[in-house]
Amino acid sequence: MKSIEAKVVVLGSQGVGKTSVVIRYVGGMFSKAVSPTIGASFFTYKMTLDGYRVKLQVWDTAGQERFRSMAPMYYRKANAAMLVYDITSLESFYDIKDWVKELKKNVDTPIVMCLLGNKADLDSGRKVPTEEAAEYAASIEALFFETSALKNTGIEDAFLQVSKQLIKLYETYPNSGLGILSPQQESTDIFSPQTTNVKLPSRTEAERPPQSDGCGC
């Protein structure tokens, strides 16, 4: 079985529910008291799909303005971007356009984009019409879903479709930077594909199995 490892970055304004979406997907739960993300949090998710073993490395970024300038660090070399807005906030939807511009400008590798209108359970306070968002998504060739982390709707589907797109992307551009490794390699170290190119001489020693360590006492 072939394996794909993809870097997924979750972007969007603060308070739109990026962390809630990710935790719903990765952890299968919802908490009302999610505290604002500091910098970025890292999650992994593994699945088997269409004969591929897919591993998603999800970077859940902070929406706060002060981290805006750090974003390139997180979306650099990303294979997919989840662009999250809040259906009850027009402003958060307009912010997506800035994100898209920025991604188009700074990311030169092919990237799967997926627009998520979160908080779909708050339909009474809706400010962003579904059609408008869908139209916009089509214009930037992005997938589009309305989601609710609270009610658990749309999220599973969104990540599934993104993964399918990633597989397609891999099949069209085998050298697109999607980390590929043979299955037996994968079991040794989940992070290895990312780090092989920056391995330092001293690291080989440190990587030896731990029993070679002298006892510190």
Which spans of this chain sit near other proteins (rule: CB under 8 A)?
Answer: 14, 19, 23, 33-43, 60, 62, 64-70, 72-73, 76, 106, 189, 191, 194-195, 198, 200, 202-203, 205-206, 210, 213, 215-217
Nearest to 193 by CA among 202, 183, 201: 183
At its nearest, how many Å lie between other proteins and the CB of residue 32?
Answer: 13
Residue 4 or 62: the one with the smaller Cβ distance to other proteins is: 62
> Between residues 174 and 201, which has the closer beta carbon with respect to other proteins?
201
Shortest Å distance, C-beta 99 to other proteins: 12
Cβ closest to other proteins, residue 57 vs residue 165: 57
- For the record, the structure tokens of 27 come out as 């952890």
Question: In a 10 Å sphere around its CB, with 0-12 CB exposed, 13-18 middle and 19+ buried, how is residue 198 labelled?
Answer: exposed
Please report how close the Cβ of residue 41 comes to other proteins at its closest, in angstroms.
Answer: 4
Buried b (16+ CB within 10 A) or exposed e, 90-107: eebbebbeebbeebeeeb
User: Based on CB atoms, which residue is closest to other proteins, 173 or 191?
Assistant: 191
The DSSP output letter for 142 is -
In the three-class reduction of DSSP (H, G, I as helix; E, B as strand; rest coil), residue 44 is classed as strand
CB of 134 to other proteins, least distance (A): 29
**Closer CB to other proteins, 29 or 49, in the complex:** 29
Compute the CA torsion angle 33, 35, 41, 42 (nearest 10 deg). -10
